Chains A and B, each alone.
Chain A
Amino acid sequence: MALLNFNFDYSIDFMRYKTIAFVISAVIFLGTLSVIAIKGINYGVDFKGGYVLETRFEKPPALQDLRSRLEKLNVGHVSIQQVGASANDLMIKMERDEKAKEEDSQQNLEKIKATLGKGVEYRKIETVGPKAGSELTKQASLSVLFALLGILIYVAIRFDWQYAVSAVMTQLNDCVAILSLFSVFGLDFNESAIIALLTTAGYSMNDTIVIFDRIRENVAKKSKLSMIEIINLSINETLSRTILTVVATMMALFAMYFFGGSVIAEFSLPIIVGIMVGTFSSIFVAAPLLLIFGFKKSVPLAVNSNMRAD
């Protein structure tokens, strides 16, 4: 027999908490949106344009001095961070001044390199024009829009329109919740952030569909139960699977976060947060949304060929 056993006979009344869960979700959703409106998203150099240099010095440089010398170049705002355990490894970021011309970027890079002096190994150099980022956001948003549209249509056909709208709204909720990381908590929003968002959305969608699938099945099977009871039952029935999957995924992600090096770690953090949010929202947002959109059992279903009544 297995060492771990998650197979308790769960009978948690999830729908009892739906109001409070909605309130929490709404607070996060609206809170994040308003913080984004006020403070904006902390766009990284990928979007604003600027310079990123990951450098390996021969000996730890005097940071204060280095910073002030870089500031004097008037290239843009300077931030210096240590990378990893060694004080010799620094990540130097300089945001592009809004007035700066794209064409000057190479000259500016030369200036920065000259300021850092000789004997520096450049592990990574990035100079990014301001246009590159905005083009990427535009493209990414557009493709996400089409992706959601495709999902909306598919779920509407396979399930019902209430399921489709609930699923897509849950995705939006999750995406906004993750955006809070980049606004409220000030993480750099860059290319990997977009990918982290997509990964989370994918996972959360999978999670939502699994629960919806069980609801669809129970709606067809258990005609005596009310909708609230059916949702509760479906969530409970799939709960051990939800826990197992989320724990397994988390284990993989934690391995990536702790042992994957700085690049992969930076990348996996928003995914870790996103998957937690996604799991929460599949249960507390997606399922109750069905109720709000007035899904009734009497609505005829596209009955699944694999489903047989007991």
Chain B
Amino acid sequence: MQFSRFKIFWIFFVCIFGIMFALPNFVSSNKLPAFLNHKVNLGLELQGGSYLQLFVDLESAHKEEMQALIPDIKKQLRKDKITFSEIKNVGDEITIKTEQFDDLKKSVAAFNLFAEKDKTKIRLFQDAGKKEERNAKKIEQCIEVVKRRIDESGTKEPSIYKQGKDRIIVQLAGVQDPEEVKKLLGQTGRLTFKLVKEVVPAESKHTVSPIYDVVPLKEDPKLVCVLEKEVLLTGDVLENVKVSQGQGLPGVTLEMNTIGGRKFSDITLNNIGKQLAIVIDNVVVSAPKITQHIPIGVASISGSMTLQDATNLKTILSSGSLPAPLKIIEERTVGPSLGTDAIADGKNAVLLSFAFVSVFMFASYSLFGLFACVSLIFNLILTFAALSMLGATLTLPGIAGLALTIGMAVDANVLIYERIKEELRHGLKLMRAIVSGFERSMATILDANLTTLIGAAALFEFGSGPVKGFAVTLMIGIMISMFTALTLTYYQIYLYTRNRKLESLPI
């Protein structure tokens, strides 16, 4: 049994390196140099936090987009002198009736629309091939807006990413209450200014002519606003949004850019005496009467809102509108108290399992059992070091992977020791038995570990979420256990046996 200087150097190097990188997980970080501040992130179920799965309602976004095109199409068709009737929005298409199909085709090309003759009417639709592309872009934009909103709400380090075709995942670690964040995501924040024709009781909304829009009024659910269809201004012109506290009432002040200010000036000049509705997500939040010409582009919304509401509204408006509505379809929130309990329980579980295994190993193999335990400790330390360096997240499935690794590491040492005993029974001399025990179990351990490693690699490659988390710790753990269970244990036995004349092995 020989260990070269080179090999001994490597053993110490790996162990010390491992301890260094695992340390930040156990010692508070301000005592350590900066390059060592990588820690294993704990999964949300362990540290508390929220996981939100948002469904991006692309379909309704398309529908709205098409709906919004109709006025412009009408204008264009009139300009091109095409007579038409029954233009309306059906799903993500527009249908229209006209005799001048060829003219229509040319005319709508300006809107990137294609025309196709149906039995009685003509269908206008967008290029289906580009739909995916447009959807992907919408989701990108949604993610941007979601990021801005969450950042502005003061939540630290959110993790936001796309999943599948129409989902966005938002993970908020350590958030006490996701309600505020949920409120921020629940609104698209589409702002428009429209003129009010009249305010009528909600019951009589069916009698309103279809040339007007009927929109509920935020302050009084019993009333609805009848609005002109024409959009005078949109949220695009906003330059700055501030929370205001005029007369002690919380509100929001909208400051427009130069173009917006000029338009706003014109609107107020031409419509004195009328009510101007500020519409957000199809609800009239405010409908002040224009009493005078306002030459600067500043409008305000106030009344019936708390300071928190005002702050939320500010965040939503200043982060830009979402290109598609988001719906929270899945939420997992672990409150801070459960998170704290889970960490404490988890530590207990790991320490106690370790203690139990150690006692058992000592009872079964005395000193050699303790060597195995030292290797096991290093297995844990090195795994934590590796996870820290990779910036991996330790989740519950990850802990299971770790447990399996420890089981297999124990098994490796058991295999070796049983083999040594067997060799002793076959009459081999002590040192020969040790060497032969290690050599012969090597093939078994390699095959068993490689088989598991192959399985884990497949799970990592093709699995998702929890399965991946399990596979990562399992792969790392197995590779490390080959070092700890084989090399490190062997080295300890080497140190113990090299200068002693032994009668029997402490096994």
Contact = CB atoms under 8 A, between A and B. Distances in A.
A55 B448 CA distance: 44
Interface stretch (A17-25, A69-77, A187-195, A283-291): A187-195
A54 to B, nearest CB: 6
Contacts of B396: 192, 195, 263-264, 267
A82 interface: no
A248 B360 contact: yes
A147 B451 contact: no
Given A143-B458, A195-B396, A251 B331 contact: no
A271 B330 contact: no
Instruction: Summarize B's interface: helix, strand, loop or mixed.
Output: helix
Contact of B365 (A2, A105, A125, A213): A2
A224 interface: no
Contacts of B327: 102-103, 106
B407 A249 contact: yes
A126 B333 contact: yes
Given A196-B400, A264-B349, A202 B439 contact: no
A103 B406 CA distance: 43
A143 B422 contact: no
A105 B327 CA distance: 9
Interface stretch (A27-35, A60-68, A174-182, A252-260): A252-260
A120 B233 CA distance: 45
B349 A129 contact: no
Contacts of A155: 451
A25 to B, nearest CB: 22
Interface string B360-382: 11111110010000000000000
Nearest to A264: B349
A300 B440 CA distance: 21
Contacts of B330: 105, 126-129, 132
Interface residues of B, number: 86
A209 interface: yes
Contacts of A209: 444, 447-448, 451
A162 interface: no
B264 to A, nearest CB: 35
B349 A261 contact: yes
Contacts of B199: none
Contacts of B337: 56, 121, 123
A307 B467 contact: no
Contacts of B55: 102-103, 129
B129 interface: no
Interface in A191-210: 191-192, 194-196, 198-199, 201-203, 205-206, 209-210
A256 B357 CA distance: 12
B349 A199 contact: no
Q: Which of A3, A54, A253 has the most CB of B within 10 A?
A: A3
A237 interface: yes
Q: Which of B406, B459, B474 has the most CB of A within 10 A?
A: B459
Interface stretch (B16-24, B78-86, B119-127, B408-416): B408-416
B334 A123 contact: yes
Nearest to B178: A125
Nearest to A9: B425
B60 to A, nearest CB: 10
A240 B439 CA distance: 19
Nearest to A249: B407
Interface in B291-333: 327-333
B345 interface: yes
Contact of A248 (B357, B366, B440): B357
Given A140-B467, A209-B447, A247 B360 contact: yes
B458 A267 contact: no
Using C-beta atoms within 8 Å of the partner chain, give the interface range for chain A.
35 or more
A7 B421 contact: yes
Contact of A202 (B186, B450, B452, B465): B452
Interface in A114-159: 121-129, 131-132, 135-136, 139-140, 142-144, 146-151, 154-155, 158
A213 B448 contact: yes
B45 A263 contact: yes
Contact of B356 (A139, A251, A310): A251
Contacts of A252: 353-354, 356-357, 403, 406-407
Contacts of B346: 260-261, 264
Interface in B420-468: 421-422, 426, 439-440, 442-444, 447-452, 454-459, 461-467
A225 interface: no
A198 B397 CA distance: 10
Contacts of A201: 455
A109 B361 CA distance: 50
Given A124-B333, A241-B418, A261-B349, A191 B466 contact: yes
B399 interface: yes
B411 A251 contact: no
B403 to A, nearest CB: 7
Nearest to B470: A195
A304 interface: yes
B88 interface: no
A105 B474 contact: no
A194 to B, nearest CB: 7
Contacts of A81: none
Contact of B463 (A140, A267, A304): A140
Nearest to A238: B418
A125 B333 contact: yes
B53 interface: yes
B353 A251 contact: yes
10 closest Cβ pairs, A-B complex:
A261-B345, A260-B349, A252-B353, A143-B463, A143-B462, A147-B458, A123-B338, A251-B356, A255-B352, A255-B353
17 contacts: A2-B363, A124-B334, A132-B330, A146-B461, A150-B457, A203-B407, A206-B408, A210-B411, A210-B415, A237-B422, A241-B418, A248-B357, A255-B356, A259-B348, A261-B342, A261-B349, A267-B400
Interface of B: 45, 53, 55, 57, 164, 182, 186, 327-335, 337-338, 341-342, 344-346, 348-349, 352-357, 360-366, 369, 396-397, 399-401, 403-404, 406-408, 410-411, 414-415, 418, 421-422, 426, 439-440, 442-444, 447-452, 454-459, 461-467, 470, 474, 504, 506-507
Interface of A: 1-7, 54, 56, 102-103, 105-106, 109, 121-129, 131-132, 135-136, 139-140, 142-144, 146-151, 154-155, 158, 191-192, 194-196, 198-199, 201-203, 205-206, 209-210, 213-214, 237-238, 240-241, 244-245, 247-249, 251-256, 259-261, 263-264, 267, 271, 304-307, 310
Given A213-B443, A249-B411, A264-B346, 10 more contacts: A124-B334, A126-B332, A128-B332, A139-B464, A148-B455, A158-B447, A191-B465, A202-B404, A248-B414, A261-B342
